[in-house]
Amino acid sequence: QQEKEDLQGKLKLREHLSQTADKSEAIPAPSKNVDLEMKQLQCKLKNSNTETTKQWTTIKSLKKQVQEKEERIWELRAKISQLGRDLTMKRHLVEDLRSRLKANQENEKASNETLESLERKVKALAEDKKTSIDSLKRRFNEAMKEKSQYEQMYRKAKYELEKKDLKLTQLESKIIETECAMTDLETTASQQLHALAKQSAQALEALQKELLLTSDKVEEFKTFVKTLARELHQSIQDLRTKIKLAKKMGGMKACKKGLSQKSLQLAASVLNVSATDLYEILQEGDDEETAKIKMEFEKDKEWLQHIQKLLETQFPFASYLMDAILEKLNEKKKLVEEYSSLMKDTV
Q: Tell me the backbone φ, ψ of residue 256, rounded to 5 degrees.
A: -65, -40
DSSP character for 28?
P
Residue 98 has pLDDT above 70, yes or no: yes
Give the whole-number percent of the chain exceeding pLDDT 70: 76
Residue 83 has pLDDT above 60, yes or no: yes
Lowest mean pLDDT among 134-143, 291-300, 308-317: 308-317
* Sequence-separated (6 or more) residues with CB below 8 Å from residue 321: 225, 307, 310, 311
DSSP character for 31?
S
Distance of alpha carbon 44 from alpha carbon 20, whole angstroms: 12
Task: Report the range out of 10-14, 194-198, 213-217 with the highest average pLDDT.
Answer: 194-198
- Band of residue 106 on the pLDDT scale cut at 50, 70, 90: confident
Task: Label each residue of 24-63 as H, E or C.
Answer: HHHCCCCCHHHHHHHHHHHHHHHHHHHHHHHHHHHHHHHH
Q: How far is CA 62 from CA 1, 51, 206, in A?
A: 12, 16, 148
SS3 252: coil
Contact in structure between 317 and 311 (CB atoms under 8 Å): yes
Q: How far is CA 231 from CA 227, 255, 301, 337, in A?
A: 6, 32, 13, 19
Distance of alpha carbon 221 from alpha carbon 226, whole angstroms: 9
Which of 84, 81, 105 shows the shortest CA–CA distance to 92? 84
- Band of residue 274 on the pLDDT scale cut at 50, 70, 90: low
**Does the global pTM surpass 0.85?**
no
pLDDT digits (tens, 9 = 90+) for 305-345: 777 777 776 667 677 777 777 887 888 788 788 778 877 76
Strand spans (E) along 49-125: none
Residue 2 has pLDDT above 60, yes or no: no
